[in-house]
Amino acid sequence: MTGSSRDPRDAKSASARCGSGDPCFMPAKAFSMVKDPSLLAAMPLLPFVVGLLGGVPLVARELEARTAQTAWSLFPSRASWLARQLAPVALVLGPGVALAAFAAGPVAADRAAWGWSASLDLGLHGPLVLIRAFAAFGIGLFTGAVVGRALPAFLLGAALCFSLLTATGLVRDAWRAGLAPVVIGEAPPAGGEVVVAPRSITTGYEWRAPDGKRISFQEARRIATAAGVPLPRANDSQDVAAAVWLDAHGYRLLIVGITDEMALGWASYDAAIFGAVGLISLPTAFWLVRRRRP
């Protein structure tokens, strides 16, 4: 009752179950290859590592090696000096990250074709990777300008990126919880196999009454209790007796959740959060460099 038979999370076990002579062997093996590609496995970290490695040393190394004294005494404008430092790094790293981000696109599309929820790959390919790298670059530049030493600034930047990622994840979960769930699957009568719409995320269960009205699990239990169905024992978490009674009286179990289209709505918020962090940290770093002692 937890998902379709094409759930990619079952791929490894399916692959293991299929013997080399079975007809399922080749598809299962093919899926195992697209499920965990190394490129996508690296994508959660890549924009942050690249952004920090590019951003931190720009100011921190100059302050650490005291070369900032020479540079800032020669360049009338520290902003123009920093822009000159920043430009070649952005010119090298930007296209590099973009290449990896867009190369990961088809890989993610392959996974989605197998029923994998595309929203789970959000931020692992496409423009969001670039925006995350931009945010990490801004954070790196900022921590470098604050700390003035490369290694501590890198560690602080990594901690800030991790906190940002965790906080964004929490906000995303809260946002998802606020979405009105839709029916993504319905149990057929007489206990057949439940088929859940592909690329969807299950958030709960409901019942459909014989008159077509959706009722909550608790409400359905109250109806069953009123009809004399005994309350479940402590070890009966699935409340089998109520389920059997409801099924026999025309009620249908519904699997509710959010579809991929709904979950992908987070992409714009994700881009806004990381973009805002980049847009704030970058000018702040410029401001700090203008005010800082070399």
Partner 1 sequence: MGTTDGWSDRRSARPTRADQATRGAGLLYLLWDRLVRRWAAALLHRWPVNTPWRASKRAQSVREESVLDTVPLRIEGFGRRYKRNRPWAVRNASFTLPKGSITALVGPNGAGKSTLIRSCIGFERPDEGRVLVFGVDPSRAPATVVRNVGYVPQTASLYRGLSIADHLTIAAAARQAFDRSSAIAQLAAVGLAPTRMVGELSGGEQAQVALALALGTRSQLLLLDEPLASLDPLARRDFLARLVVDVRAGGATAVLSSHIVGDVEQVCDHLVVLGDGQVILDSPIERAKAEYSTIRASETAGQDAVGFFSGPHGEQLALIRSAQSGSATLEEVVLGHLASVRRSRAEAA
DSSP for 197-258 reads PSSEEEEEEEEE-TTS-EEEHHHHHHHHHHTTPPPPPTT-TT-HHHHHHHHHTT-EEEEEEE
- Say how far apart CA 122 and CA 267 lie, in whole Å: 7
Nearest to partner 1 of 57, 181 (CB atom): 57
Nearest approach in angstroms of CB 95 to partner 1 is 13
- Say how far apart CA 51 and CA 97 lie, in whole Å: 9
Nearest approach in angstroms of CB 107 to partner 1 is 24
Nearest to partner 1 of 68, 254 (CB atom): 68
Nearest approach in angstroms of CB 92 to partner 1 is 6
Nearest approach in angstroms of CB 69 to partner 1 is 4
Nearest approach in angstroms of CB 53 to partner 1 is 7
- C-alpha 144, offset from chain centre: 28
Nearest to partner 1 of 69, 166 (CB atom): 69
Nearest approach in angstroms of CB 56 to partner 1 is 11
Nearest to partner 1 of 57, 123 (CB atom): 57
Nearest to partner 1 of 222, 290 (CB atom): 290
Q: Give the 3-state secondary structure of residue 6.
A: coil
Nearest approach in angstroms of CB 50 to partner 1 is 10
- The DSSP symbol for 4 reads -
Nearest approach in angstroms of CB 285 to partner 1 is 17
- Say how far apart CA 220 and CA 232 lie, in whole Å: 13
Nearest to partner 1 of 214, 290 (CB atom): 290
Phi and psi (nearest 5°) for 290? -65, -30
- Say how far apart CA 161 and CA 9 lie, in whole Å: 28
Nearest to partner 1 of 31, 72 (CB atom): 72
Q: Positive or negative CA dihedral for 138, 141, 146, 149?
A: positive
Looking at the chain, list the stretches that DSSP marks H as alpha helix, in order from N- to C-terminal side: 11-17, 25-35, 38-42, 46-64, 67-74, 78-113, 127-147, 150-178, 217-226, 240-248, 260-263, 266-291
Angle at the Cα of 8 (from 237 to 195), degrees rounded to 5?
A: 55
- The DSSP symbol for 195 reads E
Contact 262, 205 (CB under 8 A): no
Nearest to partner 1 of 74, 234 (CB atom): 74
**Residues of this chain that bind partner 1 (CB under 8 A):** 53, 57, 61, 65-78, 81, 84-85, 87-89, 91-92, 290, 293-294
Contact 137, 53 (CB under 8 A): no
